[in-house]
Amino acid sequence: MKLCMIGTGYVGLVSGACFSDLGNSVVCVDIDKNKINQLKQGIIPIYEPGLEEIVKKNIKNKRLSFSFDFDKSIKDSDIIFICVGTPKKNNGNADLTQVYHVAKKLSKLINKYKIIVTKSTVPVTTGDKIQTILSKKNKDNKYSIVSNPEFLREGEAIRDFIYPDRIVIGSNDVKANRIMNNLYAPLISKGAQYFHTSRRAAELIKYSSNAFLATKITFINEIANLCEKIGINIEDISIGMGLDKRIGGRFLRAGPGYGGSCFPKDTKAIISTANFFKTNLSLVKSVVKSNDNRSKLLLLRVYKILNNRIKNKNITFLGVTFKANTDDMRDSSSIKMIPALSKKGAKIKYFDPTGFKNEFSKIKNVKYCNSIKNSLDKADLVIIHTEWNDFKSINFKNFAKNKKFIIYDMRNIYSPSKIKKQGFKYFSVGR
């Protein structure tokens, strides 16, 4: 199969590389010439474990290529994946400018039967609108529009692509479904569930899944608040609940709230869609509100831990990304917490395995350190903000020779009894 991925962001690049690894011929196109030139040399613009190896391997065996020649790449391909961004507009809606721009360009380039697949996360009925755009220039229907939402987690994207729980294909015609089933056959034969449904249902499955997962996280975070008041360990609750197969144990880790490129954006977008169709998603609205308040709630705990004396306190953040194994800062709770602490006069140091972050470059008294050791120097309070493996076996005693700092573990990565035994004051979430 000849595939074309439009957009070499997270989704397009990972999917394109993995499809080429499955034996397809894949061209990835982008309007960013600089990025394409870098990718041609195997330089990867995002941090994703395992991606570089797959890209380099498939460039070498000539199954994967990069181009900014949009027209030629489209004309040569059988299946075209739209993987452009759908960022959040101020009113919460998904901004579909890039998707429709691509659709208009595509409408002039259909020279033989093609399948056009939306992988970008798009609100329900977007496929219908793409169809309308294409039909204006293509009366003979030599194309099918399919929805194939991605469920790739950052940091786990290669694994999620190769071993997906499910592949969702939304198409309203048999031919497109047969071809998509063939394309995914190597994954289906390894046990992935293939679910064919209507295009509109596939679009909504994506948003509903993310809204549900965000709800699960928010639920456990609120229960963690209750546990803190009663003196119960939230982890016992997560385990005890998760053993019920109807609930399942995943996405029940309490922490600083969900962030990243998807959950915050998609929860707001599904609310917008529901509003448009005059339906009240009151539960998802509460989830958004609760998660938006979460950083404030954890900040209040920081103030309490420091007896409300924040001025000139040395606070160290270990990890600042929204989760481990990514360099992504989008909607990370650290973006709210660090400026708020700086405003109160704290001196902040941070270390993150993915390096310096521009987001803090203009914030007063915030310093990037290039090692855990440097970041812990003279600390009064150490906040474990992101659950990187690099932090899981730190021997804090080695770094606190003269004075003992307080530790606030926002990801519950340490055993409270072990840390306390070493003489540190230790706080965590919901326990």
The CA distance from 255 to 429, in Å, is 6
Q: Which residue type does 8 have?
A: T
Q: Tell me whether residue 143 or residue 151 sits nearer to ligand UDX (CB atom).
A: 151
C-beta neighbour count of 414 within 10 angstroms? 20
The site for ligand UDX (CB under 6 A) is made up of 150-154, 210, 213, 217, 251-253, 255, 258-263, 322-323
Owner of token pair 């071993």: 163
CB of 115 to ligand UDX, least distance (A): 21
Q: Tell me whether residue 152 or residue 288 sits nearer to ligand UDX (CB atom).
A: 152
Q: Tell me whether residue 140 or residue 244 sits nearer to ligand UDX (CB atom).
A: 244
Q: Tell me whether residue 96 or residue 329 sits nearer to ligand UDX (CB atom).
A: 329
Give me the half-sphere count of Cα atoms (radius 13 Å) on the Cβ side of residue 349: 19
CB of 428 to ligand UDX, least distance (A): 14
Burial class (CB in 10 A: 0-12, 13-18, 19+), 331: buried
Q: Which residue type does 269 have?
A: A
367-391 burial, b at 16+ Cβ within 10 Å, e below that, comes to: ebbeebeebbeebbbbbbbbbbeeb
CB of 252 to ligand UDX, least distance (A): 6
CB of 317 to ligand UDX, least distance (A): 15
Q: Tell me whether residue 217 or residue 372 sits nearer to ligand UDX (CB atom).
A: 217
Give me the half-sphere count of Cα atoms (radius 13 Å) on the Cβ side of residue 235: 9
- What's the gap between Cα 304 and its chain centre? 31
Q: Tell me whether residue 65 or residue 120 sits nearer to ligand UDX (CB atom).
A: 120
Please name which of 410, 411, 319, 413 lies closest in space to residue 369, comparing C-alpha atoms.
319
CB of 255 to ligand UDX, least distance (A): 4
Three-state DSSP class for residue 154: coil
* Cβ–Cβ under 8 Å, residues 129 and 95: no
Determine how β-strand 64-67 pairs with β-strand 79-82.
unpaired
Please name which of 191, 210, 292 lies closest in space to residue 251, comparing C-alpha atoms.
210
CB of 177 to ligand UDX, least distance (A): 22
CB of 208 to ligand UDX, least distance (A): 12
The CA distance from 68 to 332, in Å, is 32
Catalytic residue among 4, 28, 227, 262: 262
Task: State which residue has the least CB distance to ligand UDX.
Answer: 262
Owner of token pair 């039967």: 113
Written as one string, the DSSP assignment of 37-106 is: HHHHTT--SS--TTHHHHHHHHHHTTSEEEES-HHHHHHH-SEEEE----PBPTTS-B--HHHHHHHHHH
CB of 269 to ligand UDX, least distance (A): 13
398-407 burial, b at 16+ Cβ within 10 Å, e below that, comes to: ebbeeeebbb
CB of 41 to ligand UDX, least distance (A): 26
Q: Tell me whether residue 347 or residue 411 sits nearer to ligand UDX (CB atom).
A: 411
The CA distance from 81 to 340, in Å, is 41
Q: Tell me whether residue 21 or residue 150 sits nearer to ligand UDX (CB atom).
A: 150
Cα Rg of the chain (Å, integer): 24
The CA distance from 200 to 126, in Å, is 8
The CA distance from 305 to 425, in Å, is 10
The CA distance from 207 to 204, in Å, is 5
Q: Tell me whether residue 98 or residue 215 sits nearer to ligand UDX (CB atom).
A: 215
Whether 262 is catalytic is: yes
Instruction: Give catalytic residues, as residue numbers.
Output: 262
